[in-house]
Amino acid sequence: MTQKKPGIIRRFFRFIGFIANAIRSLFGLIFVGLFVAIIVGMFADEMQPIPNKGALYLAPSGILVDQKSYATPFDQILIGDQRQDAETLVRDVVDALGFARHDNRITHLVLETDYLMGGGISKLEEIGAALMRFKQSGKPIIAVGDNFNQQQYFLAAHADEILLNPLGSVGITGFGNYNYYFKDALDSLKLNINVFRVGQYKSAVEPLLNNNMSAQVKREASELNSSLWQFYSSRIEQLRELPDGAIDNFANNLHLKLKAINGDSSALAMEQDLVDQLATRTQMLAYLNEVLPGTDGKFDSIGMNAYLNHIDAISPSSAAATADKIALVVAKGTILDGDQPQGSIGGDTLAGIFAEVRNDSDIKAVVLRIDSGGGSAFASDIIRDAITATQKKGIPVVVSMGSYAASGGYWIAAGADRVLAMTTTLTGSIGVFGVVPTFEDSLAALGIYSDGVGSTDIASMMQLGRPLTEQSKIIFQAGVDNIYTRFIALVADGRDSTPAAVHEIAQGRVWTGEKALELGLVDQLGDLNDAIVVAAELANLEDYEVDYRRQPLTVYERLVMEMNSNIGASLAGLGISGWLPESLQQQAQIILKPLQVLDTLNDPRGMYLYCGNCPL
Residue-wise pLDDT tens digits, 417-471: 999 999 999 999 999 988 888 988 988 998 999 889 989 888 888 788 899 989 9
Q: 574 pLDDT exceeds 50?
A: no
The CA distance from 163 to 114, in Å, is 12
In-domain check, residue 81: no
The CA distance from 343 to 331, in Å, is 8
| Residue 535: per-residue pLDDT | 98
Q: What are the b/e assignments for 547-581, b being 16+ CB within 10 Å?
A: bebebeeeeeeeebbebbbbbbbbbeeeebbbeee
Q: 573 pLDDT exceeds 50?
A: no
| Residue 342: per-residue pLDDT | 84
* Range 152-174 average pLDDT: 97
| Residue 552: per-residue pLDDT | 64
CATH no. for residue 372? 3.90.226.10
In-domain check, residue 406: yes
Q: 182 pLDDT exceeds 80?
A: yes
The CA distance from 322 to 379, in Å, is 35
* Range 248-277 average pLDDT: 97
Looking at the structure of the chain, the number of domains it has is 2
Q: 346 pLDDT exceeds 50?
A: yes
Q: Which range among 85-89, 192-196, 421-425 has the greatest average pLDDT? A: 421-425
In-domain check, residue 249: no
Give the three-class secondary structure for 149: strand
Q: Burial, 183: exposed, middle or buried (Cβ in 10 Å; 0-12, 13-18, 19+)?
A: middle
| Residue 41: per-residue pLDDT | 52
Q: Which of 498, 529, 534, 510 is closest to 418 using CA atoms?
A: 534
In-domain check, residue 577: no
DSSP β-ladder status, 345-346 and 335-336: parallel
Residues designated catalytic: 202, 407
Output 158 or 563, whichever has higher pLDDT: 158
Confidence band for 179, pLDDT divided at 50, 70 and 90? confident
In-domain check, residue 318: no
Torsions phi, psi of 376, nearest 5? Answer: -70, 130
Instruction: Mark which of 47, 69, 84 sits at the end of a domain.
Output: 47
In-domain check, residue 232: no
Instruction: Mark which of 12, 32, 47 sits at the end of a domain.
Output: 47
Q: Which of 274, 293, 2 is closest to 147 using CA atoms?
A: 274
CB proximity list for 129: less than 8 A, separation 6 or greater: 527
| Residue 569: per-residue pLDDT | 46
Confidence band for 531, pLDDT divided at 50, 70 and 90? very high
Output 344 or 81, whichever has higher pLDDT: 344
Q: 20 pLDDT exceeds 50?
A: yes
Strands (DSSP E) along 274-396, which ranges? 277-278, 294-295, 298-299, 301-303, 325-332, 335-336, 345-346, 363-372, 374-376
DSSP string for 315-336: HHHHHTT---EEEEEEEES-EE
| Residue 69: per-residue pLDDT | 81
H or E element at residue 11: helix 8-44
In-domain check, residue 615: no
User: What's 581's DSSP letter?
Assistant: -
In-domain check, residue 242: no
The pLDDT mean for the chain works out to: 85
- Report yes or no on whether pTM surpasses 0.85: no
Residue 393's domain spans which residues? 323-557+586-610
Q: Which of 324, 9, 77, 281 is closest to 168 using CA atoms?
A: 281
Q: Read off the pLDDT of residues 398-430 as tens digits, 9 standing for 90 and up.
A: 999 999 999 999 999 999 999 999 999 999 999
| Residue 317: per-residue pLDDT | 47
| Residue 485: per-residue pLDDT | 95
Answer yes or no: are the C-beta atoms of 430 and 502 closer than 8 Å.
yes
